[in-house]
Amino acid sequence: MKLPYLKYTPKELLNFKGSSRSEKAKKNIILLFILNFFNFIAIMALVPVSIGYLGEVEYGIWLTLHSILMWLVNLDFGLGNGLRNKLAEAFAHKDIKLARSYVSTAYAIFSTGLLFVIIIYLIIHPFINWTVLLNAPQEYFYSLNKLVLFVFVLFCIHFLLRLLSSIINADQKPAINGVISLSINGLTLLAVIGLSHFYDKSLLSYGVLAGFIPVLVFLTGSVIMFLKMYKSIAPGFKFVNLKYSSALIKLGMQFFIIQIAGLIIFTTGNIIITQLFGPASVTVYNVAYKYFYLAPMVFNVIIAPFWSAFTEAYVKQEYDWIKSMMRKLVLIWAGLSSVVVLMIIFSDLAYALWVGKEIEVPFLLSVLTGLFVIIANWNNIFVYFINGVGKVRLQFYYSIITAIVNIPLSIFLAKNLNMGISGVMLSTIICLTSGSIWAPIQYLKIINNKATGIWNK
């Protein structure tokens, strides 16, 4: 199969000006592959380095705490995705004034909400026992409460600054987000290596460092981008227009519920496992998850440019282009799924070479995790289109149902059926399976102008 991407010189690859939608997608995919190759190395290297510095138990505690705090970063009331869609529509119509109002209004809403959240947390913080929530040994009581206070504030700031990612995605330049992600993971890896060489084991130092680096990178990126590339839409008080907040919030609140459901399905696994089996089991679960992370990472690189590209194409009624891209994405999914099967077969060898033989990952967990990423990749093809065109009502209801089912089903499979941590992954698979059916159906209805009722909302 000919690789047309090779025709680009490095200079052409970095120049998006005047590029067609398809050209932008190709350039982003190439750049994201390059960036994510190094990003993957940094992520994989960080696991053994972190385990070596903190130990299996404390690393498990951090993973669980990180999962909880990531709720904060992702729970943006859907405004990040709402901004992304509305901004992409404004760009499609070349309405820079409207785009700047959307950006300024979103930052104003976020800042106000975050200030309120921080104040509330400072009030309730003294009454929270994090050792109980994380099922950690009692001797961690003071250090954990101190750690959470620092990291919570850092994550709040991170939460606000991540709006930059929505702006970049709306502009169909997700490769820039790849640079940001690589910077965060690369700097975190270097920082942990430095900690392990010059400081004694400290969960507090590790956590504060891991929370500070994303803030530093996003803050630097925001200053650079708004002074240069996005100067024309840089946020400002005089451009805040609350009449646009309803447009952001109406779509955003649906995305918000979908995000909550996604977080329940994808991040509560660590919390359930630490409560049922202890922090050390969280490490085992995450070793398997991070090993198979290669597949969704590759696929996410490929589909990253398409959310906002689908928005633009749908606004301009270029349906043939959408159909062509969807066919190509399905073929790529099939090829990548074959690679996942090989990863399952050789998983035991891969674990031994990567983290050593001290951490034993059940083969059943590997099989289920591989199946999970195959299903998740399939769903994402159609969800990216559905999200891009803003027809998310069906996904909204589906998300509520799966969120309600996931936690009790995880506990039932893991504990009552004695499946252990593999039961938590099986629960996630069951929750995703119905989405593999209705999402393609909704896509076909929308693209063929046959969607009515809930299929078209």
What is the per-residue pLDDT for 73?
Answer: 56
Instruction: Assign 3-state DSSP to the chain and report helix, strand, coil percentages, each to 5.
Output: 85, 0, 15
Q: Please give the Cα distance from 49 to 41 (Å, whole number).
A: 12
Helix (H) or strand (E) holding 134: none
What DSSP string runs through 18-64? T--HHHHHHHHHHHHHHHHHHHHHHHHHHHHHHHHHH-HHHHHHHHH
Q: Which of 36, 330, 317, 18 is nearest to 175 (CA)?
A: 36
pLDDT band of residue 203 (cuts 50, 70, 90) is confident
Q: Please give the Cα distance from 138 to 135 (Å, whole number).
A: 9
Structure confidence by residue, pLDDT tens digits, 374-433:
999 999 999 999 999 989 899 989 988 998 999 999 999 999 999 999 999 999 999 999
Helix (H) or strand (E) holding 151: helix 141-161
For 227-237, give one letter per residue: b (16+ CB within 10 A) or e: eeebeebbbee
Give this prediction's pTM.
0.74
Token pair belonging to 388 = 């891009």
Name the residue with tokens 């190759």: 37
What is the per-residue pLDDT for 262?
Answer: 76
Q: Is the pLDDT of residue 303 over 80?
A: yes
Q: Which one is predicted more confidently, 55 or 263?
A: 55
Mean pLDDT of 116-132: 88
What is the per-residue pLDDT for 74?
Answer: 57
Mean pLDDT of 258-277: 80
Q: Which of 144, 90, 98, 153 is nearest to 120 (CA)?
A: 153
Helix (H) or strand (E) holding 412: none
Domain-wise residue ranges, the chain: 21-456
Q: Is the pLDDT of residue 79 over 90?
A: no
Structure confidence by residue, pLDDT tens digits, 225-243:
999 999 999 999 999 988 8
Residue 449 sits at φ, ψ, to 5 deg, of 55, 35
Helix (H) or strand (E) holding 450: none
Structure confidence by residue, pLDDT tens digits, 146-173:
888 888 889 889 888 999 999 999 998 8
**Mean pLDDT for the chain overall:** 87
